[in-house]
Amino acid sequence: MNLKFKDPVFQLCDVIRETAFAAHKFHGPGHLEKIYENSLANRLRKQGLQVEQQVPMNVYDEDGALLGDYFADLWVERQIILELKAVRAVLNEHTAQLLGYLRSSRCEHGLLLNFGAGRFYIRKFVLSEAMAAL
């Protein structure tokens, strides 16, 4: 695939994936989630990306009523929600959590990352595709 024509969101996901993998390779498993959050935020900012940590995201009901908020681990370039984990294995509940965040906040793109296992895990979710699958 010619990267020149690649969607900017997917290019951003590539940068995040490579940066997160490097952080996992350096730190390894065994730290608290906050260490990985700070490491990834630091590394992405050094690359010139806008990264916000623990950002309150509004949660809306289907009629648009504001219900409250949750805190996104990382919000990159105001386009992608990153949900970080430091667990032995990613569970269905972790996927459901991110999909719920995307649906409720009406954000289209999200990444689920796990730093807690020996093998780094990352998976991209697109809200419109996830909703179509239901």
Q: How many domains does the chain have?
A: 1
Beta carbons of 93 and 67 less than 8 angstroms apart: no
pTM value is 0.89
Full domain range(s) for residue 99: 3-133
Q: What is the pLDDT of residues 3-58, one digit of tens each?
A: 555 689 999 999 999 999 999 999 999 999 999 999 999 999 999 999 999 999 99
Residue 94: in which H helix or E strand, if any? helix 92-105
Instruction: Give the closest residue to 81 by CA, choosing from 114, 105, 49.
Output: 105
Assigned token pair, 131: 């909703």
Q: Which residue has the higher pLDDT, 1 or 113?
A: 113
CATH code of the domain in which 79 resides = 3.40.1350
